[in-house]
Chains A and B, each alone.
Chain A
Amino acid sequence: NAGVTQTPKFRILKIGQSMTLQCTQDMNHNYMYWYRQDPGMGLKLIYYSVGAGITDKGEVPNGYNVSRSTTEDFPLRLELAAPSQTSVYFCASSYSGDSSGNTIYFGEGSWLTVV
């Protein structure tokens, strides 16, 4: 009963380094999302995907890239890490978009600190 699995859970990066946050889901969901949550704030959408091979930008995409080669996996790539990218990152998935009210399942979050 895995649901949405994110790795790593914690990571410290130096300014200018790159890394990939991994996300996989085992529910055969079409939609996948990456959100970030800054301290004391709500979640903001970085990128989303409506199916394998299809991705699109959300509210705060700058400094990030994504790919969706399979239904299960939706990795988030941080290029040239900056302190402003210090945040908690959540991957999520749903069967379809929110206009149908489908439940969105969230991963446990990845805490990223850029120093």
Chain B
Amino acid sequence: AQTVTQSQPEMSVQEAETVTLSCTYDTSESNYYLFWYKQPPSRQMILVIRQEAYKQQNATENRFSVNFQKAAKSFSLKISDSQLGDTAMYFCAFGAGTALIFGKGTTLSVSS
């Protein structure tokens, strides 16, 4: 069975700084996708970034980038130039079948 582990329950960062959120996963699948979702206090689930496992190149979306280490089964999210609006819970998710498997989340607080 696939599992997703986020080992940092809470993190905090100052505005304009860089922060990295960790995620590890376990699977025997060779073809899969990894995702980071943002959940602000409104509870809406917002897709931040997606990585295809067969692609070597790390995905980037503006200030968000990932460090995908397939052999280590690691998928960290880097947020550069943090903004107050980045305050949210961040979920790492794994997709290889029908539905996503989520980690327990990391609560990120950005302060001024």
- Chain A residue nearest to B94 (CB atoms) is A98
- Across the interface, do A88 and B43 meet the contact criterion of CB distance under 8 Å? yes
Most buried by A among B32, B47, B98, B101: B98
- Across the interface, do A42 and B52 meet the contact criterion of CB distance under 8 Å? no
B110 at the interface (CB under 8 A from A): no
In Å, the complex CA distance between A109 and B41 comes to 12
Distance from A111 Cβ to chain B, minimum over Cβ atoms (Å): 8
Known A-B contacts A88-B43, A106-B45, A109-B44; the reply to A99 vs B102 at CB < 8 A is no
Number of A-B residue pairs with CB-CB distance less than 8 Å in the complex they form: 63
A73 at the interface (CB under 8 A from B): no
Chain A residues with a Cβ closer than 8 Å to the other chain, count:
25
A74 at the interface (CB under 8 A from B): no
- Chain B residue nearest to A49 (CB atoms) is B98
- Across the interface, do B99 and A48 meet the contact criterion of CB distance under 8 Å? yes
A-side residues, CB < 8 A to B, are 31, 33, 37, 40-45, 48, 50, 56, 58, 88, 90, 92, 97-99, 101, 103-104, 106, 108-109
